[in-house]
Amino acid sequence: MTPDEAQPRPGPANVAVTLTVNGTDHPLDLEPRVSLLDALRDRLGLTGTKKGCDQGACGACTVMADGRRILSCLTLAAQQEGRAITTIEGLGDGGAPHPVQEAFVRHDAFQCGYCTPGQIMSAVCLLAEGRARSDADIREFMSGNLCRCGAYPNIVAAIREVAEAGGGGA
């Protein structure tokens, strides 16, 4: 190996980004390739959003950006400047749980709990989108969120309850 080959190559220059997460602005200095998931967990300490597959296939990393669900593992943090990001920690009102969170508890819609934050975030968006017209609709529009424990019937029941009670919008 020549001395030139042994020299580390410079990486991409960091970018200054301000992420608005759960209503609070967070100025960050990030590499351009940092995912929103990694910025949330590693830089902001918001560990409710889970890293499952890191390929956009499981939904454990689901968060909201401007009220729409996104997979944070496939989203670059630097591209989210100016958008309102909501994580599981930001749901609810004044410390009270969101209606979907309460319904998940009532219906025991979780077992190990690893997928639960992503399931809840998707459910909140599904309800806000008005897509919970039937159990089949709920299953279809929640199909991007996997639960290895198989709590699907309870998840559907929890979402149905909130939909029947008026939606529990985002």
35-68 confidence digits (pLDDT tens): 999 999 999 999 999 999 999 999 999 999 999 9
Specify whether the CB–CB gap between 153 and 104 falls below 8 A: no
15-90 CATH pick, 3.40.50.1820, 3.10.20.740, 3.10.20.30, 3.30.429.10: 3.10.20.30
Specify whether the CB–CB gap between 153 and 142 falls below 8 A: no
What's the pTM value of the predicted model, to 2 decimals? 0.90
| H or E element, residue 28 | strand 24-30
99-164 CATH pick, 1.10.3720.10, 3.20.20.60, 3.40.190.10, 1.10.150.120: 1.10.150.120
How high is the pLDDT of residue 95?
84
64-95 confidence digits (pLDDT tens): 999 999 999 999 999 999 999 999 999 988 88
How high is the pLDDT of residue 12?
75
Residue 154, CA distances (Å) to 4, 14, 24, 62, 111 in order: 60, 44, 33, 19, 10
Over 90: is that where the pLDDT of 7 sits? no
98-135 confidence digits (pLDDT tens): 999 999 999 999 999 999 999 999 999 999 999 999 99
Under the banding of pLDDT at 50, 70 and 90, the label for residue 10 is low
The full set of domain ranges for the chain reads 15-90, 99-164
Closest alpha carbon to 72 in 90, 59, 91, 82: 59
Over 80: is that where the pLDDT of 154 sits? yes
Specify whether the CB–CB gap between 38 and 46 falls below 8 A: no
Phi (first) and psi of residue 29, to 5 degrees? -115, 105
- Helix, strand, coil percent content, the chain, rounded in steps of 5: 35, 15, 45
Query: Which residues partner with 15 through β-bridges?
Result: 30
Closest alpha carbon to 39 in 69, 81, 67: 81
Under the banding of pLDDT at 50, 70 and 90, the label for residue 11 is low
Mean pLDDT value across residues 25-37: 97
Under the banding of pLDDT at 50, 70 and 90, the label for residue 9 is low
Mean pLDDT value across residues 8-33: 91
Give dist(CA 139, CA 12) in Å, integer: 41
| Site of tokens 């929103």 | 36
